[in-house]
Amino acid sequence: MKKLLLTASLFLSLGTLQAQNVYTYYFDGDFKEAGGVGPDLTPVCTGSFVGDTLVDYGNLNRQVYRFDQNCGFEYDDSMHNFIATGSYTIELYFKMDNLASWKRVIDYKLRTTDRGCYVFNGQLNFYNIASSAGAPFTANEYSHYVITRNDTTKDVLLYGDGNNYIQFNDAGGDAVYSANKKLRFFQDDLVVANEASSGSIAILRIYNYAMDSTMVSDVYDDLSGTLAVNNTVKGELAAEAYPNPVSDVLRIALPDNEAYQYSVLSFTGSVVKSGTISNASNGIDVQNMPAGMYVLKLASKEGISGNLKFVKQ
């Protein structure tokens, strides 16, 4: 049985940020990185892609990954070294079926230690260093879980639903992956048994820099747009975006000659471009947009709508 150790909050200093990039995983039918740049995730034991309703976001119907107890997936950074500096942010939107005692979220040391990220009786927890005083997590309800680490200061912060609950100094490197450069999600270590839960995850984002509190709050506030992303247009609207990736003009092949309102959203859900498009005028100029992953939202006057995902080179 673990002994819970609380620690006092430490001062936060984020230092100088490196070039900022993000790997995004939507779990909308596969384990691929949305921008086509990061590595695929690897499933660990059993799970499946299923439809679910996100009640906190207008009962949004969305595909998620449903993992069984003590299962999950692995992120392998050995070929990319994306977060090898030790500065990073990991963002998840997930739910667990059972929150009694400790339930593993992130394992940094390939199951060789009990240290790492948990939910403990609904509280955020990094064992055995710190636990939140509040309990922002509820069983079988989705919540936003973020951990940031700054390698200059060694400061680690954990957030739940946009609010900071934990700060500690990680001079010992407990929140850094080991030489194998792998992270395990939702599968517990081999030291103490039965500290895992089944559950579902809708999004994972891994940033190669430490966010501050304002940035974490912003990505939480923008989750509505982010979670609406899908690989293909849903419902009655059958459309195609090409070329993808694109460097200058994105072309849209629509199923009819109707005009559609469109909005281009960044990965945080912010609208960066909008207008009207049809097959007669189907080009969207994206050459001045920053490189990255975007979502094109389409809607007709009859209410037919859908989303397309594309990458700007």
> Could you read off the pLDDT of 228-265 as tens digits, one per residue?
765 344 445 677 888 888 889 998 888 888 888 888 88
Q: Please state, for a pLDDT cut of 90, what percent of the chain lies above it.
A: 58
CATH class given for the domain over 22-227? mainly beta
pLDDT for res 80: 95
pLDDT for res 239: 78
Whether residue 99 has pLDDT greater than 90: yes
Between the CA of residue 10 and those of 2, 68, 124, 267, what are the distances in Å?
A: 23, 36, 17, 31
What's the whole-number average pLDDT of the chain? Answer: 87
pLDDT for res 136: 86
pLDDT for res 235: 46
CATH architecture of 240-312: Sandwich (2.60)
Whether residue 28 has pLDDT greater than 60: yes
First-to-last alpha carbon distance for the chain, in angstroms, is 50
**CB-based contact 180:110 (threshold 8 Å):** yes
pLDDT for res 27: 93
Helix, strand, coil percentages (3-state) for the chain, rounded to 5, are 5, 40, 50
Reported confidence tier of residue 193, pLDDT bands at 50, 70, 90: confident
Nearest to 119 by CA among 111, 127, 108: 127
Question: How does pLDDT run across 197-209, given as a tens digit for each residue?
Answer: 999 999 999 999 9
Reported confidence tier of residue 302, pLDDT bands at 50, 70, 90: low
Reported confidence tier of residue 19, pLDDT bands at 50, 70, 90: low
Question: How does pLDDT run across 121-171, given as a tens digit for each residue?
Answer: 999 999 999 999 888 899 999 999 999 999 999 999 999 999 999 999 999
Domain edges within the chain: 22-227, 240-312
pLDDT for res 2: 45
